[in-house]
Structure formats: structure tokens, C-alpha cells
Amino acid sequence: MKKLLSLAAAAMTVTAAMVGPSSTTLADTDSTSYLLSCSFESGEDGWTGRGGASVEASSKTSFDGSNALYCTNRSDSWNGAAISLDDSYAGETFSFSTNVKYESGKDTALYHFTMQYNDGSETKYEKIASANIIKGEWAQLANPSFTVPANSSEISIYVETATGTSDFYVDDVKVAAEGTVIEGAKGGKYIPGDIFPDGVVDTFDLICARKLIVASDQPSPQSINADVDKSKEFAVNDLVLLDEFISGKITEFPENIPVEEVTPFDYEANKQFKEAPGDYFSQCQQQGKVTQENYSSIRGNKTLYVYTPYNYDPEKKYNIFYLMHGGGENEKTLFFQDDTMIQNMLDHMIMNGELEPLIVVTPTFNGQGGEAANFYEELRANVIPFVEGKYSTYAESTSEEDIRASRMHRAYGGFSMGSVSTWQVFKNDIDLVGYFMPLSGDHWGGNDAYGKAKDLADAVDRSGFTDRQYFIFAATGSDDIAYPNVNPQVDEMKKMSQFKFTSDFSEGNFYFMVAPGKTHWWGYVRHYVYDALPYFFHETGE
């Protein structure tokens, strides 16, 4: 009884600390001898960047002392911070511990403390400890009994993430004899219900939750664990569920995730071509930014450009539109040529409230073995993960699963050969993209108009998506050289159940706008983007 009381008192103390600024527990002060102990107080302590990552001792934050190791420039989730261990570790069992923290991006992220070694024939990787950690909080990744495989060599230990490339800090890394309890950060782990951060959900958490709900209208980072129903706020319902969970009435927390808001949009059902106002192609007083990005792809090293809207905020989520140039053009065509200057048009549309701020990317299909019809491969393998790992979109991470989950916030379009690439993206990447804008170009697949339409309809059937889950706004000019190719394809598509023809995407999913008298030129085609783009990103895909 006495013990319980004192633990409850401890719980109260921690609660008070949680409501205020987060507190950390100092590492042990006993005389344990460590095989490795890295505090980063006077440098990197032998740690190096893994993959392309960089590491440096930094005083921006620390778990213990005044420095931590700061890991940046990661271009893949396996990039991180590493240190080599000598071969004498092989075959022995030790206690490993590190503390990790990250400061931007998702609210929680999965981190791994991993060992790499050579088993005599190949390189192997084994997780020492893993944890889902809370943004802005130090968390400990520890394993008191981890055996380094016998006869291994080239051993190193490192910190990495399961997905994404965010910067992180590492501090107070220790290796000690098997079974040693190495003190580390308390809490910092995402465990719904674990409000008194001890790794288990029990009565102490209920005590903390009750205190939290009366004491705090400003939730602490730790209160993400208190929001057991994932409603994005800690409320009475969470308290009720926690009580039921602890008493054994329920064995898991039912989720109450808020439905994602989409902006209601007043579609026209039969959208007619309308030119953007002439001054939309001059500089706007609220300018977005166009950034050159270099990336490596399955078809060599390439460049693309990223338009970020005025006041771009990496803490917010943005819809994203990939827009492909035509044959003989390149990734610069859309942003740097007098007859395009799409960025000025986007600036004006966003400033005047005609378009939600979004990210627009101009990649290229040019390159080693690259062509319009196979760009969909590179889009999936390289372009989307690269861009969306770096810029803030609805993709929670660059895992294919998270890219799929955010497809209703992703569009792809293109002109001429770019339109050819668009139909191919529809056919092959429909699981990643929800909106399509093929401009002045037909689908290269199938022998005749029916064959082209059928090829696309078959792709829909294979995907399993319903006709509320993909949207096509196609356009061309009546005098465009592509019109005689596209128009018959559209006529065949209209007959198929997969495509419901209207520009009111609350009712259907497929439209073809014909601009009277216009020919095959970006100077006209940019206006199709002006007409079509505001129609995107309003459907939930439910």
C-alpha cells in the first residue's frame, strides 16, 4: 500500500512537469563502466553520416550536457548517424542505449537503432531497438540484452528512420555489460494511453489524464498519448476510453479520426474555355518561388523545378500538381519561357482565391532511355519520393503506402507528348495519382480509338478504384493537330461505364474541353491549365 501511494505521488509530479515545459531525466550518475559512451560535448565522438547524411555536434538542443549530435542532409530513410565498433564485440551480448529527438514533420515517427555487420559473406542489418517517437521530445531506444552475431566484422551501429528524411538529434549513446539498465529519456514515445510515461498503460495514466484535463487547455506534446481516440484533441471521451481500457472493458481504443476537410467547390457541368486575364502572365505582387532540384533517377541524373506558393509553410500540407512538357521541350519550358510563365499565372490565381495554394512540379521525361510513354516508371520510383520527401504534401512519408493514401491530393498533367505521358500515368500509376490533365495529346496504347479507350478502362478495372476515385480533365484546341487523335478516343471513353462525362466532378469523373480555333501551342494550352486546375482536389475519393 505504501509503495502504491509513493508511486501515485510520483505520477502527480510527472503530470505537473508534463503540463509545463517538458522535462528530461538526467542519465545515470553511478560508476557503471561503459564500453562506449558518447555525449558529443566536445565533438562528434567518432560518429559519421551514413549514406549522404551529415553529422555535427550541436548545442541547439541536448538530452544531457549541452550538446547533441545533429544529423542532416538525409536523402533516404536509411541515411543517418553511425559509428563503427571493433570486431571484439562479435559474439558477445551487451546493453545498448541511445536517445533520439526530431523537431519537424509528422507528429510521430518510427526510429530504429540498428546494427550493420558482415557475417563473413554479406552485409546484414539487425534492429537493436525501435520506437515510434513524438515530435519535439527526447525518446530512448534501448535494448539491455542484444547479442552481436558471432564471427561478424565491419560492425557499426546507427540511427535511422523507417520512412522520410527529416533531420534528427542523437545524444548520450552508451554500450554497457549485458543487463545494465542504462538511464535515458523518460517518455517521448507514442504509446496511446501512456500518459505517465513508463511504457505501460495503467491506473497511473488515468490519474495523469484526469490532472491533465483539468489543468491544461494548452496540450503538452505528451498529450498526444492522451488523445487515445486520435481525434486530434484530448477530451472527456479519451478519459472514458482510458478508464474502460484499464478496467478491461475494452482491449483497444476505438478511433475517432476527424474526416479530412475538402473545400466545397461550385463546379460548372460543361466548363467552357476561358482565357486567363492578360496580366496573369506578368509578375504578381505575391510571388511564389521556383526552385531547381537535382535528383538521381532510374534514367540518370536529372533536374526538375518546384513551384512553391507565396508564403509556403513547410508545416502545412499542400496539394501537388506534376506538369509535363511536350516533345522537344524540357523541365524549364513551363517556368522560363515567354509563352508559358505558368508561375505568374499560378501566383495570380492563388492571390485572387481562384486556386488553393499548391505545389507545382515540372519534371522531364528526357534522359537516358527516357520517353513520354515510360515516364510513369520514374514518377513512381524517383520523382514523387524525392519531391515529397523534401516538400510538404499530404504524403505522410515517402513510403508507397503513404503516397497511395494521399493520391486525392496529387495531380498529373502534360501537353502533347506530356499528354501521352499523362495517359500512361493514368494507366500505370492510378494508385498514386487521383487527378489527370491530358492536354492536346491522345493515349498511345491500343490500335484505334476504341482500343485506346479500352486500354484505359481495363487499367481502371485492374486498379479496383470506383468512378468516384479518379478524375480526368482533358482539353485541346479545335484546330490543334492532336484534336483528330483525341476526340475519337474521348467519344469511345464516353461510352464506357468507367468514365462519366461532365466537368462537375461531384457527379462524374471525365471531361474534355475544346477551345475554339486554338492550335498546338503552350501559349494557348496554359489557359487550359487556368480553366482545369481549379477543378482539382475537391473530392474525397470516398
Q: Name the residue with the smallest CB distance to ligand FER.
A: 327
Judged by CB under 6 A, which of 219, 327, 446, 451 binds ligand FER? 327
Among 39-47, 397-405, 479-487, 501-509, the segment contacting ligand FER (CB under 6 A): 479-487
- Which residue number, 144 or 327, has a Cβ lying nearer to ligand FER? 327
Judged by CB under 6 A, which of 39, 416, 498, 503 binds ligand FER? 416
Q: Could you tell me how far CA 324 lies from the centroid of its own chain?
A: 22
Residue 128 near ligand FER by CB under 6 A? no
Residue 403 near ligand FER by CB under 6 A? no
Site string for ligand FER, 351-380 (x = CB under 6 A): ------------------------------
Q: CA-to-CA distance for 38 and 35, rounded, in angstroms?
A: 10
Q: CA-to-CA distance for 129 and 146, rounded, in angstroms?
A: 9
The b/e string for 485-506 (b: 16+ C-beta within 10 A; e otherwise) is: bbbbbbebbeebebbbbbbbbe
Q: CA-to-CA distance for 156 and 174, rounded, in angstroms?
A: 14
Residue 381 near ligand FER by CB under 6 A? no
Measured from the CB of residue 328, what is the shortest distance to ligand FER in angstroms?
Answer: 6
Locate all alpha helices (DSSP H) within 47-202, ordered by sequence: none
Do residues 414 and 439 make contact, with C-beta atoms less than 8 angstroms apart?
A: yes
Residue 420 near ligand FER by CB under 6 A? yes
Q: CA-to-CA distance for 319 and 538, rounded, in angstroms?
A: 10
Q: Residue 293: enclosing H or E segment and its boundaries?
A: strand 289-297
Measured from the CB of residue 107, what is the shortest distance to ligand FER in angstroms?
Answer: 44
Residue 418 near ligand FER by CB under 6 A? no
- Which residue number, 346 or 373, has a Cβ lying nearer to ligand FER? 373
Do residues 72 and 102 make contact, with C-beta atoms less than 8 angstroms apart?
A: no
Q: Which residues pair with 412 in a beta bridge?
A: 322, 436
Residue 422 near ligand FER by CB under 6 A? no
Quick check: helix, strand or coil at residue 503? coil
Site string for ligand FER, 435-474 (x = CB under 6 A): ------xx--------------------------------
Do residues 309 and 284 make contact, with C-beta atoms less than 8 angstroms apart?
A: no
Residue 485 near ligand FER by CB under 6 A? yes
Q: CA-to-CA distance for 278 and 285, rounded, in angstroms?
A: 15
Judged by CB under 6 A, which of 224, 304, 482, 490 binds ligand FER? 482
Do residues 239 and 209 make contact, with C-beta atoms less than 8 angstroms apart?
A: yes
Quick check: helix, strand or coil at residue 256? coil
Total binding residues toward ligand FER, as defined by CB under 6 A: 12
Residue 4 near ligand FER by CB under 6 A? no
Measured from the CB of residue 325, what is the shortest distance to ligand FER in angstroms?
Answer: 10
Residue 150 near ligand FER by CB under 6 A? no
Residue 477 near ligand FER by CB under 6 A? no
- Which residue number, 113 or 511, has a Cβ lying nearer to ligand FER? 511
What is the maximal distance between C-alpha atoms in the chain? 89
Cell of 359: 505545389
- Which residue number, 327 or 446, has a Cβ lying nearer to ligand FER? 327
Q: CA-to-CA distance for 90 and 50, rounded, in angstroms?
A: 21
Residue 489 near ligand FER by CB under 6 A? no
Quick one: DSSP state of residue 366?
A: -
Q: CA-to-CA distance for 197 and 22, rounded, in angstroms?
A: 12
Q: CA-to-CA distance for 265 and 285, rounded, in angstroms?
A: 26
Tally DSSP H helices, then E strands, for the chain. 12, 19
Measured from the CB of residue 333, what is the shortest distance to ligand FER in angstroms?
Answer: 12
Among 84-92, 293-301, 344-352, 415-423, the segment contacting ligand FER (CB under 6 A): 415-423
Measured from the CB of residue 83, what is the shortest distance to ligand FER in angstroms?
Answer: 53
Measured from the CB of residue 440, what is the shortest distance to ligand FER in angstroms?
Answer: 7
Among 9-17, 205-213, 284-292, 411-419, the segment contacting ligand FER (CB under 6 A): 411-419
Give contact residues for ligand FER (rule: CB under 6 A).
326-327, 416-417, 419-420, 441-442, 481-482, 485-486
